[in-house]
Structure 1
Amino acid sequence: MANELLIGTYTDRLPHVDGHAQGVLTARFDGSAVTDVTVAARVENPSWVTAAPGDAHVYAVSETEPDGGVAAFARGADGVLTELGSASSGGPSPAHAVVHPSGRFLIAGTYGGGTVSVFALADDGSLGERTAFVRHEGRGPDPERQDAPHVHQLSVDPVSGDVVVVDLGIGEVRWHAFSEEGALTLRPEATVVLGSAGPRHLVFHPDGRHVVLVNELDSSVDVLRRDGDRFVRVQSTTTRADGAEGDNLPAAVCVSDSGRTVLVSNRGDDTVAVFAFDTEASRLTLVDSVAVGGRAPRDLVIAPGGDRVLAACQDSDEVTVLAFDDADRSLRLLGTSPVPTPVCLRFV
Structure 2
Amino acid sequence: MKSNFLLLTLLIFISCKAQNTPLYIGTYTDGYSEGIYKLDFNQNTGQLSNLQLAISTQNPSFITYSRNKKYIYAVSESLGGSVSSFKIRENGHLKFLNKVSSNGEGPCHISLNRQGNKAVVSNYRGGSASIYSIARDGKLNDATQIFNYNTDDKVSHAHSAQFFRDELYIADLGINALYQYKLKGDTYELALPTIVEMTENPGPRHFTITKNGLFIYIINEYGNSITSFKKTENGFEQIDYDTTLDKNYEGNNSCADIHLSRNELYLYGSNRGENSIVVFKRNKFNGTIQKIQTVPVHGDWPRNFTLDPSGKFLLVANQKSQNISVFSINSSTGKLSFLNDVKVPRPVCLLF
Q: 1:240: Cα distance to partner?
A: 0.8
**Residues 1:191 and 2:204 are matched in the alignment:** no
Q: Which amino acid aligns with 1:205?
A: T
Cα distance in structure 1, aligned partners of 2:264 and 2:65: 23
**Residues 1:69 and 2:76 are matched in the alignment:** no
**Counterpart in the other structure of 1:4:** 22
Larger radius of gyration: 2
SS state at 1:130 partner: strand
Q: Which amino acid aligns with 1:3?
A: T
**Counterpart in the other structure of 1:53:** 67
Distance 1:206 1:20, change over 3 A: same
**Residues 1:166 and 2:153 are matched in the alignment:** no
Q: Which amino acid aligns with 2:322?
A: D
SS state at 1:197 partner: coil
- Divergent runs of 4+, >4 A: none
Q: 1:230: Cα distance to partner?
A: 3.0
Q: Which amino acid aligns with 1:152?
A: H
- Output one character per residue of 1:149-205: Cα deviation in whole Å (capped at 9) or x when no partner: 0011010124xx211100101110001113453x22111266333240000000012
**Counterpart in the other structure of 2:299:** 294
Distance 1:179 1:5, change over 3 A: farther
**Counterpart in the other structure of 1:157:** 164
Cα distance in structure 2, aligned partners of 1:187 and 1:331: 39
SS state at 1:316 partner: coil
State how 1:272-283 maps to structure 2 within 5 Å: 272-283=277-288
Cα distance in structure 2, aligned partners of 1:287 and 1:303: 21
| Contact map agreement 1:206 1:257 (CA 8 A) in 2 | no
| Contact map agreement 1:308 1:321 (CA 8 A) in 2 | yes
SS state at 1:187 partner: strand
Cα distance in structure 1, aligned partners of 2:163 and 2:24: 21
Cα distance in structure 2, aligned partners of 1:323 and 1:133: 41
| Contact map agreement 1:292 1:311 (CA 8 A) in 2 | yes
* Percent of paired sites with the same residue: 28
| Contact map agreement 1:211 1:223 (CA 8 A) in 2 | yes
State how 1:197-346 maps to structure 2 within 5 Å: 197-228=202-233, 230-346=235-351
Cα distance in structure 2, aligned partners of 1:34 and 1:193: 43
Structure 1: which 5+ residue stretches go unaligned? 13-18, 141-146
Equivalent residue for 1:21, pick from 33, 54, 78: 33
Q: 1:332: Cα distance to partner?
A: 0.8
**Counterpart in the other structure of 2:11:** none
Distance 1:89 1:331, change over 3 A: same
Over the aligned positions, Cα root-mean-square deviation in angstroms equals: 1.6
Q: Under a length normalisation based on structure 1, what TM-score does the superposition of the two structures give?
A: 0.91
Q: 1:43: Cα distance to partner?
A: 1.4
Distance 1:126 1:197, change over 3 A: same
How many residues align structurally?
331
**Counterpart in the other structure of 2:97:** 84
